[in-house]
Amino acid sequence: MSGIHDVLKQYLTDEVIKVIDITLKHNRWRKRECLNMIPSENVMSPLAEMVYLTDMGHRYAEGWPRKRYYQGLIYVDEMELYLQELMSKLFKVKYVDVRPISGTTANLSAYYAMAKYGDKAVVVPVQAGAHVSHTKFGGLGALGIQQIEMPFDMEEMNIDVDKAAKLIREVKPRFVTFGGSVFLFPHPVKELSEVAHEVGAYVLYDAAHVLGLIAGGKFQDPIREGADIVTSSTHKTFPGPQGGVILTNNEELFKRVKKVVFPIFVSNHHLHRLPATAIVALEMLHFGEAYAEQILRNAKTLAEALAAEGFKVLGEKHGYTKSHQVLIDVRELGGGAKAAKLLEDANVIVNKNLLPYDKPEMIKDPSGLRLGVQELTRWGLKEDDMKEVARFFRRVLIDKEDPAKVRKDVIEFRKNFTKIHYTFDVPLEEIREKLGLGALPLLE
C-alpha cells in the first residue's frame, strides 16, 4: 500500500487519501482475504461492476418507462424495458417491476396493494425465518396489518402444513407469505396456496434469498406452485447489485402494485443498478443452472462436513439443506454472538442468527450461525473446498485455536480463488479503454 500512497500524495490531500485507503482495505479484505458466508450477500462479476458505474447513477426517473415526469431518459427507459423483458424470460412471468430499490420496498409495495389497515396476514414465524419486513416490527406493523404466525414443525424444519391450513381457514387473512431469511427447504407453497385461495387470500412469496436458485431451476417455482406475487432483492443467490424486483402473472394485482411502487414507496429508483442487473440476468440465463447446481452441492457438502467435524447442524432428517444455507447450533460453543466474532477474527465472515427454537428476545445472542455458500461458489469453490472450510470452523470454534493463526491460513487458502465464475469471459480493460469508461473498481 505504501507505493499507492506515494503516488496519491502527489495529487491528493491526506483527507482524500484516507477515504481511498479505507476503501482499498475493505476491498482487499473482503474480496481477497476472507471467506464470506453471509447468506444475504454476493459479488457482482467484473462485467456487471463495469456497467454499474455509469452516468445513469446521476439521473432521476419518476414513473413508468416512457411515462416519466422527467426528460432525458430515452436510454434509461430502453434499459429498464429490456431488463423487464429479461426478467420476464428468466422467471417465466408476464409482469415485472424493477423499480423497488430493495426487497423490503418490494414487500411493502405488495402489502399495500393487497391489504389495508387492520387486515390480517399469516406469516412464517420470526425465529423460523421470517424477514423483519414480514412482521409487526417492520413492514406489516408500519402498515397496520396484523401479523399471525404459521405453526412450524421443528423436526421437519418447515411450516406445519396441516396446522397452517387449519389456521388459514380460521383466520381468513388478506394474504399469506412464504419465503424468508432463514430458508433450508422449499416451503409448502402448492399445498397452502390452495387453502389461501379458498378463503380469498393472496399468496406472496419472498424469494430474496433463493431468487438465483429459482432462476437456475434448482429450487421450487413459486408462481407455478400457486403464488400470486413474488417479491425479491437482487443481490443474494441472484448475484446482482443491491435492489428489488416484483414478479407476477396477475394483471389486476400488478396494476395496483405499479401505482403503489411509485409514488408511495419509491421516487427515483437508483438507475445505475439497471444495466448491472441486466448483465446479471443475462449471466443467469446462460450460467444460472450450473451456478445453482453447484451452490446446492456446496451447501450440502459443507453441512455434512461440519457435522463430521463435530458441529450440531440442523435439518439432518432431510439432508441438512436444499438451499444455499446451512444452520448450526453453537450454544455449547459460547453462543452465536461469540462464535461469529471468533470466526470474523479468523477472516471467516458469518452471521449469528435465531434458530427456530430460540425466543425472539435472544436476537442479540442467538443460538445459531447462519451460513451461505453462494459467494464462495461464485469465487469458484467446490465440494472439496467446502471440507477445508469446515475444518477452519472446527479449528476456531471446537479446537479453540488462536483465530490469528487460522486467519493466516484462510488468507493463504483464499489466494486460490480470485476469479469470478459463472459469467462471460471478456477482456474488460480493453473494453473500458475502447468505450472511454473509467477505471476498474478499486481493489489492490
Tens-level pLDDT at each residue, the chain (444 residues): 556 667 777 778 888 888 888 988 999 999 999 999 999 999 999 999 989 989 999 999 999 999 999 999 999 999 999 999 999 999 999 999 999 999 999 999 999 999 999 999 999 988 778 888 888 888 999 999 999 999 999 999 999 999 999 999 999 999 999 999 998 999 999 999 999 999 999 999 999 999 999 999 999 999 999 999 999 999 999 999 999 999 999 999 999 999 999 999 999 999 999 999 999 999 999 999 999 999 999 999 999 999 999 999 999 999 999 999 999 999 999 999 999 999 999 999 999 999 988 988 898 999 999 999 999 999 999 999 999 999 999 999 999 999 999 999 999 999 999 999 999 988 876 776 666 655 555 544
Residues forming beta bridges with residue 152, ordered by sequence position: 159
State percent of the chain over pLDDT 70. 96
Sheet-wide strand order for 368-372: 312-313, 325-329, 368-372, 351-353
In this predicted model, what pLDDT tens digit does every residue of 50-88 receive, in sequence order?
A: 899 899 999 999 999 999 999 999 999 999 999 999 999
Joined grid coordinates for residue 363: 436476537
Contact 106, 71 (CB under 8 A): no
- Residue indicated by cell numbers 440465463: 285
**Other C-beta atoms lying within 10 Å of the C-beta of residue 388:** 15
415 — phi, psi (to 5°)? -65, -20
Instruction: Map residue 345 onto helix, strand or coil.
Output: helix
Do the Cβ atoms of 161 and 188 come closer than 8 Å? yes
If one counts every other C-beta atom within 10 angstroms of the C-beta of residue 242, the result is 18
Query: Quick check: 380 and 395 in contact, CB under 8 A?
Result: no
Q: Which three cell numbers stand for residue 343?
A: 470466526
340 neighbors 393 (Cβ within 8 angstroms): no
Three cell numbers written together for 284: 443467469
Report the candidate in 412, 442, 109 with the shortest Cα–Cα distance to residue 254.
Answer: 109
Residue 229 to residue 318: CA distance in whole angstroms? 28
Rounded to whole angstroms, how far apart are CA atoms 79 and 86? 10
pLDDT of residue 440: 53
∠ CA 406-409-414, rounded to 5°? 125
| Residue 347 burial (10 A CB sphere; 0-12, 13-18, 19+) | buried
The CA-based angle 42-210-339, given to 5 degrees, is 60
Rounded to the nearest angstrom, the gap between the alpha carbon of residue 77 and the centroid of all alpha carbons in its chain is 26
Orientation angle between helical segments 336-345 and 403-414, nearest 10 degrees: 60
What is the three-class DSSP state of 217?
coil
**What per-residue string of b and e applies to 295-328 under the rule 16 or more CB within 10 Å gives b?**
bbebbbbbbbbbbebebbbbbeeeebbbbbbbbb
Distance CA 175, CA 168 (A): 9
Structural domains of the chain, ranges and CATH numbers in brackets:
50-283 (3.40.640.10), 288-414 (3.90.1150.10)
